[in-house]
Amino acid sequence: MKNTAFNITSIRNDFPILNLKVNGKQLVYLDNAATTQTPKVVIDSIVSYYSKLNANIHRGAHYLSQKATEAYEDARKKFQKHLNAQSSNEIIFTSGTTHSINLVANGFINLLNSGDEIIVSHLEHHSNIVPWQMLCKKTGAIMRVIPMNEKGELIFSEYEKLLSNKTKVVFVNHVSNALGTINPIKEIISKAHEFGAAVLIDGAQALPHFKIDVIDLDVDFYVGSAHKIYGPTGVGILYGKEKWLNKIPPYQGGGEMIDEVTFEKTTYAKLPNKFEAGTPNIAGVIASAVALDYINKIGLEKIEKREAELLDYATKKLLEIDEIKIYGDSSNKTSVISFNIGSIHPYDIGSIIDNEGIAVRTGHHCAQPIMDYFNISGTIRISMSFYNTIEEIDSLINSIMVAKKMLS
Amino acid sequence: MTIEQIQNEIISEFDMFNDWTEKYEYIIDLGKSLPVIKTQYKTQENIIRGCQSKVWLYAENIDNKLIFTADSDAIITKGIIAILIRAFSNQSAEEIINAKTDFVEKIGLKEHLSQTRANGLSSMIKQIKLYAVAYSTK
C-alpha cells in the first residue's frame, strides 16, 4: 500500500499534535477509538469563537448573542444534514455519548412497567449498560443480553429469540469499541420494530468511519461524541425521532429548556431546547460542525477505504508475531485491533511501548463483559485513523518486538 | 539496615542506569525475584484497590517485624512492588509508619509510569503503611 493513494503529508499537516515528540520519540498515535486528534481548522474555530463571537445564545437581543445563536443553530443543521435527519429539532447537543444515553434511558422511567424487558448486547461499552441497569432498578424492568460468538459477533438468531411483546427498548452499539465489530444494526432495528420496541444505537465508534443515514436505518435514537469525529471534547450528539423526543420528559431542569415558569408550575420549551437546559458548550458545538465539514471535505468513502487498507496491513504484520492472539476477527470491522501476546500482561507491553512514543490503549476498554467472555483481564488495543501511516504501524511492530524481548 | 539506608541503596543503584530501558529491564528482573505471597493469602480482600493490574499484598508480624509478600499479574507491577518490599519489609511497624517515601521520585520511577500506574504505586505505598498502622495498634 502506498501512502500516495491519499495525500497523507498534507493531511498530517492539518493535525499539529501529530508532530509532537513524547519521551524524546516521535508520537505514534494509535488510540483513535478513545479520542481522535483535532485538525487545525477546528482548533482555530475555537480560538475564533472566543475572539469574535463569545456570547450566550437564545436570549440576548444584542449583536453577539444573535451571531453566536446563528452559528450554534447552523451547527445543528449541519448535523441534521450529515445524519439525514428530517428536522433539526431531532438533533440534541449533549456533553457526550454517555450523557446522550443517560438522557434517553432516564426518559423511559415512566414508559416502563415492572416485568417489561429491555435488550442489550454482549458487545457494549459500560456506558450503554449502566444507565439501563439503573433504569431497571427504578422500574422493575428486566435486562436481556444478546450473546456473542468467538469471532466477536452478535448471534442474531439468539437475538430473535429474546424479542417478544414484553420488549420495550433495544440498545446496541453500531461498532464495538473493544473489538471493532460492525453490528448488523439495520436488521436489529427492523426486528425490534416488529415487536414495537424502540431502538437506541450507540454510534460513537461508527460516526468517524462511515456515513450514517438515520432515515434509511429507521433508528429511534442514534448517539455519538464529537471528540471521536475530530471535534473537541465535551460535545455529544443525540438524534431522536421527533415522536420519541416529544414522548420522553426533559432530563435536566434549568434555563433555556422552559416555556413559562411560576412557582406552581413550569411548562417546557419545544424541541430541541427542551433537552438543552443551561448554557451549552457553544464553542464546542460550533467547532464540532467544523470537524464535520473537515471529514466531509476529505470524504467518508475515502476515509473508509484508507482505514481498511491500514487495518489489513496492521493485521497482517501483527499476525507475524509469535504467540499473538487477536480478539474479534469479524470480516466486518473497523480499523481496531485488540490483541495479547502469549501470557504477557497488556499493561506491561503498553508501558514499554509508551516509552517509545507509541500511544495505545490497554485494559478492559470499559467493556468487561467482552473480556469475561474471552476469560482475560484486558487487551492491547490499537485503533487507527486515516492519518496514520504504514511507517507508524512498522514502528508499533518494532516496539512490540522490543517489549516482547524484554518481557519474555 | 534502616529503611533510609535501603532506600539510599536503591537510589544509587538506579543512578547507574543510562536510560529508561535499563531501568525497566532491572524492574522486570526484580519482578521475577519477588517474594511471592502464599496462595491462601491471594484473596479478594488482599487486592490493592486503585491498581489497573491485579496486586495482592500481605503482611505478617514475625518477632515484631513486618514481613511483606505480594504478587501481581503484570511483571512490571511485580517489579515495582518488589522495590517497595525491599524498602519496607522486615522492619518494625513504627519504622514503616515514620519512613519517608520520596525515594520513588528520586529513582525516576514516577515519570516513566502512566498516571494510572503512578496512582497504583501510591496505593501500594498507602497499603504498606496501613498494614503498619494496623499492627502497631494491635
Instruction: Name the residue among A23, A354, A377 with its Cβ closest to that of B73.
Output: A377
Share of chain B above pLDDT 90, in %: 49
Residue of A nearest to B72 (CA): A345
> What is the reported pLDDT for B133?
94
Domain boundaries, chain B: 3-136
Look up A366 and say whether it is catalytic.
yes
- What is the location of CATH 3.90.1150.10 in chain A? 3-30+299-407
The number of C-beta contacts closer than 8 angstroms across A and B is 40
Q: What is the CATH number of domain A3-30+299-407?
A: 3.90.1150.10
Instruction: Name the residue among A23, A345, A350 with its Cβ closest to that of B75.
Output: A345
Spell out which residues of chain A touch residue B20, defining contact as CB-CB under 8 Å: 23, 355
Rounded-to-integer distance, Cα A237 and Cα A223, Å? 6
- What is the location of CATH 3.40.640.10 in chain A? 43-296
Q: What is the pLDDT of residues A140-190, one digit of tens each?
A: 999 999 999 999 999 999 999 999 999 999 999 999 999 999 999 999 999
Q: Which residue has the cell 414508559?
A: A111
Tell me if B123 sits within 8 A of B95, measured CB to CB: no
Confidence label for A262 from pLDDT (cuts 50, 70 and 90): confident
pTM for the whole structure: 0.92
Tell me if A201 sits within 8 A of A173, measured CB to CB: yes
**Chain B closest-CA separation from residue A148 CA (Å):** 26
CATH topology of domain A43-296: Aspartate Aminotransferase; domain 2 (3.40.640)
Spell out which residues of chain B touch residue A348, defining contact as CB-CB under 8 Å: 74-76
CATH fit for domain B3-136, picks 3.40.50.2300, 3.90.79.10, 3.90.1010.10, 3.40.50.620: 3.90.1010.10
Q: Taking residues A38-44, what's their average pLDDT?
A: 98
